Every structure is written in C-alpha cells, then in structure tokens.
Structure 1
Amino acid sequence: MAPNKPHIVCLPAPLQGHISPMMKLAKLLHSRGFYITMILTEFDVARLATSLAAESPIQQGLNDFGFETIPDGLPPHNKRGVLDLPELANSIQGDETNKALKSVLMRLNASSHIPSISAIISDITMFFALGVGKELGIPMLGLCTTSACGMLGYLQYDELIKRGLFPLKDESCLTNGFLDTPIDWVPGLIKGTTMKHLPTFVRTMNIDDTMFNFLLATVRNSSTTEGLIFNTFYELEGEVLEEIKTKIPNLYAIGPLSLLCKQVIEQELLPLRSNFWKEDTNCIEWLDKRSPKSVIYVNYGSLAILTSDQLEEFAWGLANSKQPFLWVIRPGLVEEEFGAILNNKYREEIKGRGLISGWCPQEKVLQHPSIAVFLTHCGWNSTLESMSDGVPLICWPFFAEQQTNCLYACHEWRVGVEMEEGTVRRERVEEVVREMMEGEKGKELRRKAMEWKFKAEAATRPGGSSHSNFDKLVNYLM
C-alpha cells in the first residue's frame, strides 16, 4: 500500500437503494488508485453478512479497501422499514452517530498503516457528516442518489413554504384537486409539473413533519458541500442539472454508474456486493428458457409496502394478462399475511408462465434478452438501470421522488406508461400489461428506451459526458 495514496471515506445512507450506488462509486474510485474506507451502520453490516454469507463485503485482506461501522442510533429490534424512516431520520443525526463517526475518522487519520483522509463522499442525507468533516478539516462532497429532477423537486421545499403551499391546510387537500396546483416557477421542471409530482413528503398538514424537515435540511446542507455527484447523465437530465447548478455550482453527473463500471476491466473492480437479501439466481435459468422480449419483470424495490388487496389485484392482473412474468416479492413487501392470496389456485393459474422470486440480481435480469418491460415503483436505481438496458417501464410510484421520476419517464423521456399511484385494479393491470406487450404503445416505448440505452452507453464511454465528468471528479479528488 502506497502511503501517499489519496484516501476517500464513503458514507452511504443506511438504505439498500443508497448503499448500492455508493458501493459502485467506491469500486470505481478504487480502480483509479484511491484508498477507500466504506463506513456502514452496524445494523446494515449484520444484514449484509446474513444475505451474502461467505461473500460478506466485510472481508479481510482487500487491497486498499477497508470497512468501518457506526451505530444508527436505533435499537436492534427496530426493522428499519419504510414506516420507520422518521425514527431513522431523527436517530441518524443524534449524538451517538455523530460521535462515532468523528471517532472513526480520527482513528483512521492517526493510523500509520493507511493514508490520511483526503475527502469524505457522503450521501447527502447523512448531512451530519458535514459538521464532523469541517471540525476535522476534511472536505466533503455529496452523493445524490436521486434523479436530478427528484433533487430539483426537493429544492422547491423552501419555496413551497414561502408561497403558502406547505403545509396543506387540511386533509381535503389530498383529494380536492389541490395537488394539481401547477409548479410553474422552476425553469428545469417540465411543463405540467404539479404538487402531486413533487416528492411526497409535502403531503402533510404538519409543518413540523419529520421527513419534510429532514429533506429540507438535506438540500440546504447540500449547497455547502464541495460539490455534488449525480448518478445520471447530461443527455438525460441536462436542463435540470443546469438549473441545480444555479444553487449548487460544482456538479459531477457520472451515471449510469452501472454502465461506467462496465468500462473498467472486470479484474480491476473488487467483487463486492451490497444486497440486503439473498439473491435467487434460479430466475436467470428460468429466463433462459423464455423467448426474446416475452417476459414482464415486476419489482417494487427495497422499501415499498403493499396492502394484501393491492397484492391480490396485481396478482390477478398479471395472471389474467396471460403473459409470462417474473415477480419479486421480497420479505416485508406485504405487511399482512399474503400466503392465502398466492394460493394453490393462483399458482395453478400461472403455472409455466409466472415465476415468483424472493429477491433477484436485478441488473442481470434487466440485461436478459427475454425481458420486455419492467413494472416498477420508479425508484431511481431501477428507473436508470431499466433505461440503460433499453427496457420500457410500467410506472407505479410509491413515495418520495418516485412520482417525479414517473412524470419524467412518461412525459419527458417517453419510456413509460403510468398506472395510477395508490389504488390498484386488476383490470387496469391487465390492460396496461397487454398494451405494453402487444400494442403499438409498447413498441413505441421500446424503441425510445433503446435510444436512451445507446445514449447512456455513449455517455459512459471514454470521451462521453459521464466518463469525462468522472475524470474531472478523480482529478479533483487527487
């Protein structure tokens, strides 16, 4: 190990969709000669160790890549699911986590075996790290794991307060058309953006709402970092990025990270994985037996939760479409017992054309030639990975900035068709699936998705916008 290597500390937020892009960025920087320390919460390290067993990322002997842990402030019995996010948002900013991070950074800097820390790259939601970094004289850049359009939505939170649009006056605002109020004062947001397309933490009557104020603090603190890194590319979100630049000038759009990783020789990228659940690789063998562009892939991501009614409507909508499908039902997706819904009658109905999986290697699935369309919650990792592989979307946004991603996917990038958020009807599921698999709309969106795939590949090749921005980021960090 060269003692003069630049040393980057990577601090992801303790959520699946945040750890994955940070891990990719860390591996890319490591391939460029950086010493990396990844700091994860104790709870997440335990989850990763359980899911990966012998392949745990907390491995000894990795060359110039170390792991450290800090507490997240929550008790061990807390599930850290989507309903626990307000508790996590409060605890992660607490004294316990703050002191633990400072202690780890001081110990790393005092070590004679590793280089001194050059910079921290922190998930922007871990904004307490900014104060710790300043106290220790360590510069910090932020990784924004949302889309740029989602981030621009969060950047409107201050303005919503000023304009009297937040908090909502009463509960009727959720149903009386108030959410159709146009957001027409932001140059980077597309025409037709309304309150309902903004990240969903605005939908509350409580001015002290934990998540609204947590995200408000996140974007305010983002503007005081040394710069922001985005998992997107200029050809996709250039106008939005330019608008963000008016508030946060130093931006690096280096996505899609999954494609940028492909530009690095495989042997140079560490084989580190970051899944909270054990991957079921049998689904790839199942897909191998399907015809090209014949399968619907269904996955609602790592946080969304469905009611048993929603699950049942999705189940019979997919079954009644008579199309082959691969459906991921991860642990915790449904709060209630769902075994009765996916009963013997249902399994008999879908026999030979439907596969239900607990978790799967999503990037491999989306790259598989048999996949025709992705029914998704519109989380940013899923949306970008799908477009990177030329797969169009059926959009069923759940929360946060997924509504913004859905708006852009359907109306700006023209790769998706929207299924109304919330309520699910099996007739609508069947109708949309058939339209995407058999209709002209599906063909049109597939063509558009392939265009974005080629643009994403070009952006991440040497000379492309994202590849060049990554070079700039490396030079800055050096």
Structure 2
Amino acid sequence: MVGPFSELVDDLNRREGVPPITCILSDGFMNFVAFPAAEKVGVPLVHLFTISACALLALKHHRSFLERCRATSTDDVSHSERIIDWIPGMKSMRERDMPNFLGSIDCDDPFVKFTLDVLDRTDKADATIINTFEELEQVVLTDVASLIRNIYAIGPVHLILDRIPRDEFISKHIHGNLWAEHTECLDWLDTKEPGSVLYVNFGSIAFLTHEQLTELAAGLANSDHSFLWVLRPDLVHGETVILPPGFVDETKERGFLSGWCPQEKVLNHSSIGGFLTHCGWNSILESLAAGVPMICWPKFADQQPNARYVCEEWNAGLEFGFDVNRDTVERVVKELLGSDKGKELKRSAVEWKRLAAEGSSLAGSSQNNMDKLIKDVMLRR
C-alpha cells in the first residue's frame, strides 16, 4: 500500500486548482503506509487512535508483558488473577486485564507482531489524537504522554460530531455502520418503563460460541428483566444463530430480538437501564455519554483493559468474572437493574455523562485540544 498511497499524495499535489496537502491524518495502525508518504511530501503526520488511552498504554507495554508471560507460563486460572504492579499509571490490573490477541503470547504471531511493530512506530507521528476526554483518563494520559509525544485527547468523537450541522449530502452518504440499521426496537422501547431494559449488543465483529449463546439466553430468561438483544447473523462464529427451544415464547412479553440498531438512540432512550457489552471503545464511550452503566464481557484486543477501567476506575460497570454461565448472567443482570449497587453505578454513569458533555462542548477540554493541535502542528508552517 505504501507505493500507491504515496503516488496518490504526489498526484494530488501536482494537480492544478487543487489545494496542496498540508497534513496527513492516519489511523494509528496504518502508520506503515502514512509515514513514508508524509516524509516524502514533507508534511506533518497525525495519528488517530480510536482505542482508549488505558488500552494504548497497556499496548505500549505489551512486549514486556509477553516476555514476562513466557517466563512464567502456566495454565493455572489463578495465574491470570495476578496483579500487575510494574506499569506506571495503571493500578489494580490483573494479567487477564491486559490486551488479549486470541490468547497468543507469541511475539512472532502475525497479529501480535503487527500490533507490536505499530506501537514501536508511534514516534513517527508529529502528534497523536486519542478518542477520549481528559476528565475520564487524565492520569493515564499523563503516562501515555511520557511514551508518545504530543498527545491530544479529543473526544468523545460522536458527541463532537453531533454538534456539527449535517447537510443532506452528509446525511445520505456518510455512515459509520457495517450493518443496516433496524429502528423497530425504538417503538418497542417506548412501551417500557424508565430504566427497566437491559440492552445487549456485542458490536460489529465480536463472536460467541454456541454454548455461550445458549447460556446467555438462559440467563436473560431467568433474570425476569426486560431486554433488547441485537442478534447479528454471524454472532456465532461459523454457525447459524440458534436460540434455545422455548426461549422466544418464554420471553416474548419482555424481550425484543433486533437486527443492527441505532445504538446512540437506544442508549439515550429513557427505558434503557443497562448495557451488556463486549467493551469495544465506541460502545463504552457511547454508554458513558448516555449515562448508562454496563455489564462487561470483553472478548479480545483492547476490550480487556477497557472493561477493567469501567469496573474499577470509573465505577460504571460490573464484570461477569472468569466463568460466564446462565447463573452468572442472571445474577449480574439482577444486580445491575435491581440492587443498591446498580443504583450506585447508575449515579456514577450519569456523572460521566455530565463530564463527557462538558469535555466535548465548545468550551471543553477536547475543543481546546483540537485548537492546540491545529495551531501547534497542522498550521506550524
């Protein structure tokens, strides 16, 4: 990709009537393509990481973590509960809270190697944007800034985007979903009591096994709480999604099975009381910005540190624990939607909603950081 992209940049710069390229903004994981082009043209390169600052910090230390894992490898479950106390800025982290690349601890694994190589090249950028806000990750951002120069917290991006007037062209042609949206669930939510519904969604690419699907369905049925469950057709990897016999009939009065839905609208609906999530960063930011507490079931990559911070640092969620079965699902759903602990988490989530709105406002920290980025980096010539 390096050659074609560099040729594109050169071609645009040679065209008459086309403004010259003055900066390249690249996803941080595409720096192997963007850096050679930016260096050739002589313009600043800005990385954008759409993961959390806590996940980025964990990834910057991931090579050392893997080396320690190989030195003390064991299948003992208690091993994964060991506290990591050697990463500056991260506390209360267990080994199982570190980024997980499908269980691989091999630095030569192609996915792991690619990620480590990317993180070794973060210094190639003139600046780095992280989709977060200072009020949420201030301590972590300070430690990330000691490893990556010129860090700018600009987020939550979806709240900033909501402030931008969207004309007819943008509304029709620019979208951020991998699946077509179904909106019927919003009418169903209108019939439910405030704070009574659990929203269940595992994002665009996370998978369940058939056994996990069965246990989750049984736990939701046994919880006696209402739920809105987004069922992607490929949710069970390599298999057809088949729900347990009798599940639909048993839960038809309090359950709604949906295709892909407008998640921001769902999370901001008054009937939503909690979110069972895989802990992708977009989902966490959207949940916090809506004031909705979470049940965390991380799957891979950055989702493990995200989940730990939601539960331990931001007091906005519950985790399943090591073993996820129908009894665990039932217990945690009841705790989130019907206990004093759930009310505490709701209050905390509502406070994060206030801070997210404040940070992404025109006078907020994210706008200030955007102004500094433009002045100090993008317009420096």
**TM-score where L is the length of structure 2:** 0.93
Alignment-derived partner of residue 433 in structure 1: 333
Alignment-derived partner of residue 215 in structure 2: 313
Q: Output the CA distance in 1 between the equivalents of 2:102 and 2:240.
A: 31
- Displacement, 1:414? 0.2
- Displacement, 1:274? 2.0
- Pairs aligned (count): 375
**Superposed CA offset, 1:4-41 (max 9, x none):** xxxxxxxxxxxxxxxxxxxxxxxxxxxxxxxxxxxxxx
Q: What is the identity, as a one-letter code, of the residue corresponding to 2:30?
A: M
Residue 427 to residue 364, structure 1, CA distance change in 2 (3 Å):
same
Q: Helix, strand or coil: the match of 1:177?
A: helix
- Displacement, 1:176? 4.8
- Displacement, 1:179? 2.8
Alignment-derived partner of residue 285 in structure 2: 384
2:22 to 118, 121, 125: 118
CA RMSD for the aligned pairs? 2.0
Q: Output the CA distance in 2 between the equivalents of 1:238 and 1:445.
A: 21
- Contact 1:202 1:212 survives alignment (8 Å): no
Q: Output the CA distance in 2 between the equivalents of 1:285 and 1:307.
A: 30
Alignment-derived partner of residue 56 in structure 2: 151
Alignment-derived partner of residue 184 in structure 2: 282
**TM-score where L is the length of structure 1:** 0.75
- Displacement, 1:145? 0.9
Alignment-derived partner of residue 212 in structure 1: 112
- Displacement, 1:137? 2.3
Residue 439 to residue 181, structure 1, CA distance change in 2 (3 Å):
closer
Q: What is the identity, as a one-letter code, of the residue corresponding to 2:27?
A: D
- Contact 1:167 1:207 survives alignment (8 Å): no
1:302 to 204, 212, 224: 204
Q: Helix, strand or coil: the match of 1:134?
A: helix
Q: What is the identity, as a one-letter code, of the residue corresponding to 1:288?
A: D
Residue 339 to residue 466, structure 1, CA distance change in 2 (3 Å):
closer
Residue 268 to residue 238, structure 1, CA distance change in 2 (3 Å):
farther
Q: Output the CA distance in 2 between the equivalents of 1:236 and 1:279.
A: 30
Alignment-derived partner of residue 308 in structure 2: 407
Q: Helix, strand or coil: the match of 2:143?
A: helix
2:2 to 87, 98, 102: 98
- Displacement, 1:460? 1.2
Aligned-pair identity in percent equals 42
1:424 partnered with 2:327: no
- Displacement, 1:133? 2.1
- In structure 1, the gaps of 5 or more residues are 1-96
- Contact 1:167 1:202 survives alignment (8 Å): no
Residue 202 to residue 436, structure 1, CA distance change in 2 (3 Å):
closer
Residue 215 to residue 333, structure 1, CA distance change in 2 (3 Å):
same
- Contact 1:166 1:202 survives alignment (8 Å): no
1:139 partnered with 2:44: yes
- Displacement, 1:117? 1.1
Q: Helix, strand or coil: the match of 2:279?
A: coil
- Displacement, 1:362? 0.8
- Contact 2:266 2:272 survives alignment (8 Å): yes
- Contact 1:297 1:326 survives alignment (8 Å): yes
Q: What is the identity, as a one-letter code, of the residue corresponding to 1:225?
A: A
